[in-house]
Amino acid sequence: MSEQADPGPHDDVWDDPDVMLDRPEPTGLERVDAVVEAVAGVGSVPLEEHPRVYEQAHAALRAALDDPGPG
C-alpha cells in the first residue's frame, strides 16, 4: 500500500481560477512595461532559467530608477 502525502497549502493553487492574476495595466513607461511582460512570461521558460529572468528584471528596474529619462 502506498501512502500519498497530504497536499500542502498551495498544491492546488494552479487549479484555482481565483488565484490567476491579470497582468497589471501598462505603466506607460516602455522600460518598465517590457520588464512586466518578461516576468509575466516566465512560465514559458524552463524553471532553471527563472532566476536569470528575475535577475534581469531587477537590473532593468534598477536602471529605470537610477535613470528615469525624460518625461
pLDDT (0 to 100) of residue 10: 47
Residue 11 located in a structural domain: no
**pTM exceeding 0.95:** no
Residue 6 located in a structural domain: no
pLDDT (0 to 100) of residue 38: 87
pLDDT (0 to 100) of residue 22: 65
Range of the domain at 35: 26-71
Scan for cell 518625461, then name that residue: 71
pLDDT (0 to 100) of residue 55: 95
Short-list 51, 28, 29, 25, CA closest to 39 = 51
Residue 12 located in a structural domain: no
Residue 8 located in a structural domain: no
Residue 62 located in a structural domain: yes
Mean pLDDT by 10 residues, the chain (71 residues): 48 48 80 89 88 94 85 50
Residue 21 located in a structural domain: no
Residue 32 located in a structural domain: yes
Separation between Cα atoms, residue 54 and residue 52, nearest integer Å: 5
What is the domain count for the chain?
1
- Helix, strand, coil in percent for the chain, rounding step 5: 50, 0, 50
pLDDT (0 to 100) of residue 15: 53
Residue 56 located in a structural domain: yes
